């Protein structure tokens, strides 16, 4: 049994020097758990970042195989927590145990994949151009390049994923894998879960001999600690998942520094779904059921729940609407993560329903016992009114979706042309139908990071081919993903070595490295040079 400490983790030590305290909230019962959590002070922030900066000198040089062992040790320590971790997460988030088991498995899978990536080695993208001393008109030097870690990374835990986007999640995993010390600002919505996970990481770091300061975690239920972490000169990058307002605040802080740093922020998405006429005609009833399940999944608290569905006045529309309505009406309300999130959902939903010519199509009438319950809701608006009202283009975080009924596919194209960047876009269409609407296809591809056909956006596969990001304002930088092996590219930079003796080069760039022999052959075959 692991106890909740409720203190800040600075390096490997626990600190309780902070001033303010707060308690973990239980959303189902609207109560608080007994442990107190200590908010960090600015002095603790400085100490933490100084330790991380010092640790970078040694941790960045820890061999990749040893860092892989560290990541695997983290997975073992997390699993050793057993049901205690799941039960605490259930208390602090209201999420069901089955969902949390799946999320924990995903987190373990993510860390394991990065361990495998480190052992495989090609992630450093080694490139070798050997010297040509006799090349006219001037000799060519020996130049070799690889990706290297950037320095201490600050991670902000998210509210909606207590494991996968939190202390040991999609930002911490690749940052640690790349060789960067990590400082986590724990999310106040699940401090006990964060505490247990942090203890697991500390045990893993000690087991595998990682330098002091490789991992730290600080608490705060406000903005002071996060602001100080981003502004600290030792911080070299920031990972964030949350609201547009929060992400842009951090982005501006990072840009105003003497040394600007990247903020990799995921900031929300309405994940539009476009249904073409022929598919609607042939699959109307089942489509209503499928979309209702995606809208209400996890109380709508996924970053990929579909907030907009675009459709035309065509055969099958009435059947689809009746099916969609019936499923939503029979979807029980669900507990939201915090009282604040639930309050904001109800506020934004009410504002959407108050807009001109927007009508409620269905609101769940099944309400289980418990507090902070959010009813699944869908509303209806015409394509013309949607186009004219930018308020309707905004995300309502929760189980709400707006059905936009357009006069024809021309109006549908105009409607989606008003949308900004999204994490996902989905096309529901018969395969033969796609070629008839190239403008719609191109527009959806242009605004999305992941383009889905005949599926739903909820559910993000952790694999090399996934891209979980998108054009602004879905993310701060559309070139990077926060999920999958390529997410490590956020926390590295290229480094070239010119005319260095082979014995002094990093192992990844030495002539005897098997991966680099392959690259030399590949260079000859595909680029005609070495």
| Rounded to 5°, angle at Cα 372 from 265 and 300 | 45
Is 364 within 8 Å of 376 (Cβ atoms)? yes
What is the SS3 string spanning 395-443?
A: CCCCCEEEEEEECCHHHHHHHHCCCCCEEEEEEECCHHHHHHCHHHHHH
Backbone φ, ψ for residue 396 (5° rounding):
-110, 105
Whether a cis peptide bond, with omega within 30° of 0, leads into 395 is no
Query: Hunting for tokens 């504002």 — which residue is that?
Result: 351
Measure the CA–CA gap between 14 and 323, rounded to whole angstroms. Answer: 54
Q: How many CA atoms lie within 13 A of 8 on its CB side?
A: 29
Q: Is 342 a catalytic residue?
A: no
Q: How far apart are CA 81 and CA 87, in angstroms?
A: 10
Q: Report d(CA 465, CA 482) in Å as an integer.
A: 12
Catalytic member of 303, 327, 375, 411: 303
Residue 349 CB partners (closer than 8 Å, separation 6+): 377, 396, 398, 400
Element (H, E) at 33: strand 31-38
Residue 98's beta-bridge partner residues?
Answer: none
The DSSP line for 188-255 is TTSHHHHHHHHHHHHHHHHHTTPPTTSEEEE--SSSHHHHHHHHSTT--EEEEES-HHHHHHHHHHHH
DSSP symbols for 426-493: EEE--GGGGGG-HHHHHHHHHHEEEEEESS-S-----STT-----TTTTBS-TT--SSSGGGGGGGEE
Set 266, 327, 411, 508: catalytic member: 266
Per residue, the 3-state secondary structure of 379-394, as one string, reads EEEEHHHHHHCHHHHC
Cα dihedral 29, 31, 34, 36 sign: positive
List the structure tokens of 433.
């139908």
d(CA 525, CA 519): 10
Q: Residue 35: phi, psi to the nearest 5?
A: -65, 145
Q: Is 266 a catalytic residue?
A: yes
Q: Are 306 and 273 in contact (CB under 8 A)?
A: yes
Helix, strand, coil in percent for the chain, rounding step 5: 45, 20, 35
d(CA 5, CA 15): 10
| DSSP 3-state of 496 | strand
Largest Cα–Cα separation, the chain: 82
Please state, in angstroms and rounded to a whole number, the distance separating the CA atoms of residues 525 and 530.
Answer: 9
Known catalytic residues are 266, 303
């Amino acid at each position: 049994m692991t106890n909740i400490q409720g203190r800040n983790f600075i390096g490997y030590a626990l600190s309780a020097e902070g001033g303010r305290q707060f308690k973990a909230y239980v959303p189902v019962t609207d109560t608080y758990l007994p442990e107190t959590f200590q908010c960090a002070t600015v002095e603790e922030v400085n100490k933490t970042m100084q330790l991380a900066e010092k640790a970078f000198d040694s941790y960045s040089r820890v061999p990749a195989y040893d860092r892989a062992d560290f990541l695997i040790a983290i997975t073992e320590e997390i699993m050793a927590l057993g049901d205690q971790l799941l039960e605490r997460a259930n208390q602090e988030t209201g999420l069901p145990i089955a969902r949390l088991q799946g999320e924990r498995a995903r987190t373990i899978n993510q860390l394991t994949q990065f361990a495998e990536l480190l052992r495989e080695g090609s992630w450093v993208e080694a490139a070798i151009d050997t010297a040509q001393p006799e090349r006219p008109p001037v000799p060519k030097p020996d130049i070799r390049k690889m990706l290297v870690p950037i320095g201490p990374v600050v991670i902000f835990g998210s509210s909606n994923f207590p494991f996968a986007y939190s202390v040991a999640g999609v930002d911490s995993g690749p940052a640690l894998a790349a060789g960067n010390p990590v400082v986590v600002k724990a999310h106040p919505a699940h401090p006990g879960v964060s505490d247990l996970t942090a203890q697991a990481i500390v045990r893993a770091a000690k087991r595998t001999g990682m330098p002091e300061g490789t991992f730290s975690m600080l608490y705060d239920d406000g903005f002071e600690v996060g602001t100080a972490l981003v502004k600290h000169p030792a911080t070299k990058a920031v990972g964030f998942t949350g609201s547009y307002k929060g992400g842009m605040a951090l982005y501006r802080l990072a840009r105003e520094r003497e040394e600007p740093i990247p903020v990799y922020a995921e900031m929300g998405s309405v994940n539009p779904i476009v249904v073409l006429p022929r598919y609607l005609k042939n699959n109307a009833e089942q489509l209503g059921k499928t979309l209702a399940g995606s809208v209400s999944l996890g109380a709508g608290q996924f970053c990929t729940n579909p907030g907009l569905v675009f459709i035309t006045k065509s055969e099958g529309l009435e059947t689809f609407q009746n099916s969609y309505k019936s499923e939503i009406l029979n979807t029980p309300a669900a507990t939201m993560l915090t009282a604040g999130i639930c309050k904001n959902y109800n506020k934004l939903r009410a504002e959407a329903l108050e807009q001109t010519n927007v009508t409620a199509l269905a609101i769940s009438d099944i309400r289980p016992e418990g507090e902070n319950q959010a009813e699944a809701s869908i509303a209806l608006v015409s394509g013309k009114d949607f186009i004219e009202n930018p308020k309707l283009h905004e995300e309502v975080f929760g189980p709400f979706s707006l059905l936009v009924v357009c006069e024809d596919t021309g109006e549908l194209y105009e409607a989606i042309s008003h949308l900004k960047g999204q994490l996902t876009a989905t096309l529901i269409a018969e395969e033969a139908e796609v070629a008839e609407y190239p403008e719609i296809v191109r527009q959806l591809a242009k605004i999305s990071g992941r383009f889905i056909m005949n599926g739903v956006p909820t559910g993000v596969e952790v694999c090399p081919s996934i891209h979980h990001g998108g054009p602004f304002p879905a993310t701060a930088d559309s070139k990077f993903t926060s999920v999958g092996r390529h997410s490590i590219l956020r926390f590295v930079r290229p480094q070239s070595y010119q005319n260095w003796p082979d014995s002094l080069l990093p192992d990844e760039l030495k002539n005897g490295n098997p991966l680099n022999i392959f690259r030399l052959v590949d260079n000859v075959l595909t680029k005609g040079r070495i």
